């Protein structure tokens, strides 16, 4: 488990203070995969640097399994850093080292005996599916394979947390999915806690149990995927489950409703039940149905008859667990 409490980072730029992190608090339980998304300048890189203790936060704490990593002595810093394994956008491998030598590097740095290094490296290469590439050099590996080496290297210290900073941003869609599948498999096998910093919503959809939106150095929205996707007033719902951009324009003056809901409700005949019970036509203006993790989610934009009883219909839908926003009539 990682617990971030009221983390602040203020940089000095000349006489000006730049508040890069403005009271970030976050708790990710053991074995969960949490995504952190945000636009450029939101504070993602600063958060990564503070979590990996490369940068000292101005205030606030970071704790792994209840043990505080911030404010440790210089002597303890190295051990504290080992609790968090780091995966970067580019694997940053040594070109002159083979796969196994790259993975061995962090263990050599701390003087691990050679036989222990050999068995640990073999175990990790097996885990990431690269045993047959142990003697290959980075130039002989694909981008996805290089990222697997980076992941194996991040696991050499048996970290409690795997912190992945834009891990798939340099990869094509197929390789992205393979790496995300690997991250999920590692979580399942090692029960490791994973934090993924990303600007790709696909990553969140594919692999995350929960997500936070970072903006202006603050977490402005956070929660389990199911909660944020069906929170009609949140910013993440429409980003995770956008309607097609070329949705047909509404015609007439009938009210327009946006519906967000999950698998359980998706199996109910929502549209026909509204039409039947409330005696209105229901025109589907746009729709998006997606599988996120194990669940199916739907986002529908409907137009009703001008004289439809909107309040009663909204009540009916919300009592069935569907989040509804009335977009007004056009």
- Tell me which residues touch ligand ATP (CB under 6 A): 11, 13, 18, 20, 38, 40-46
Tell me whether residue 46 or residue 303 sits nearer to ligand ATP (CB atom). Answer: 46
Instruction: Output the smallest distance, CB 242 to ligand ATP, in A.
Output: 21
- Show the tokens assigned to 315: 């009540």
Instruction: Output the smallest distance, CB 239 to ligand ATP, in A.
Output: 16
Distances (CA, A) of 87 to 154, 211, 300: 6, 18, 37
Tell me whether residue 48 or residue 257 sits nearer to ligand ATP (CB atom). Answer: 48
Instruction: Output the smallest distance, CB 38 to ligand ATP, in A.
Output: 5
Instruction: Output the smallest distance, CB 42 to ligand ATP, in A.
Output: 4
Instruction: Output the smallest distance, CB 200 to ligand ATP, in A.
Output: 12
Token pair 């007033």: residue:
233
Which helix H or strand E contains 240, and what residues bound it? Answer: helix 236-240
- Show the tokens assigned to 14: 């000349």
Distance CA 267, CA 302 (A): 17
- Pairing of the two strands 84-87 and 59-64: unpaired
Tell me whether residue 41 or residue 252 sits nearer to ligand ATP (CB atom). Answer: 41
Of 304, 295, 307, 296, give the one whose Cα is nearest residue 324: 304
Instruction: Output the smallest distance, CB 116 to ligand ATP, in A.
Output: 37
Tell me whether residue 18 or residue 289 sits nearer to ligand ATP (CB atom). Answer: 18
Distance CA 112, CA 99 (A): 18
Across the strands, what pairs with 325? 258
Of 303, 284, 293, give the one whose Cα is nearest residue 240: 293
Tell me whether residue 44 or residue 153 sits nearer to ligand ATP (CB atom). Answer: 44
Tell me whether residue 166 or residue 178 sits nearer to ligand ATP (CB atom). Answer: 166
């Amino acid at each position: 488990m990682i617990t971030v409490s009221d983390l602040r980072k203020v940089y000095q730029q000349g006489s000006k203070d730049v508040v890069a992190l403005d009271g970030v608090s976050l708790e990710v339980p053991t074995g969960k995969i949490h995504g952190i998304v945000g636009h450029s300048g939101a504070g993602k890189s600063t958060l990564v640097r503070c979590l990996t203790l490369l940068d000292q936060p101005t205030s606030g704490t970071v704790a792994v399994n209840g043990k505080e990593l911030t404010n440790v002595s210089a002597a303890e810093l190295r051990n504290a850093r080992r609790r968090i394994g780091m995966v970067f956008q580019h694997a940053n491998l040594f070109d002159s080292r083979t796969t196994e030598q790259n993975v061995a590097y962090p263990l050599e740095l701390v003087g691990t005996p050679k036989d222990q290094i050999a068995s640990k490296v073999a175990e990790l290469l097996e885990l990431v599916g690269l045993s047959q590439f142990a003697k290959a050099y980075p130039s002989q590996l694909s981008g996805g394979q290089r990222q697997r080496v980076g992941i194996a290297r991040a696991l050499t210290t048996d970290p409690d947390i795997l912190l992945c900073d834009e891990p798939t941003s340099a990869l094509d869609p197929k390789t992205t999915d393979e790496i995300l599948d690997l991250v999920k498999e590692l979580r399942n096998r090692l029960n490791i806690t994973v934090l993924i910093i990303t600007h790709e919503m696909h990553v969140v959809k594919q692999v995350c149990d929960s997500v936070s939106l970072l903006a202006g150095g603050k977490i402005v929205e956070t929660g389990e995927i199911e909660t944020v996707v069906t929170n009609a007033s949140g910013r993440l719902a429409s980003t995770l489950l956008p309607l097609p951009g070329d949705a047909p324009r509404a015609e007439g003056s009938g009210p327009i409703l946006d519906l967000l809901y999950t698998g359980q409700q998706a199996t109910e005949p929502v549209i026909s039940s509204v039409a039947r019970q409330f005696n209105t036509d229901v025109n589907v203006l746009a729709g998006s149905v997606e599988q996120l993790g194990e669940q199916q989610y739907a986002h529908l934009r409907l137009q009703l008859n001008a004289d439809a009883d909107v309040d009663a219909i909204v009540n009916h839908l919300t009592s069935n667990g569907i989040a509804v926003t009335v977009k007004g009539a056009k």
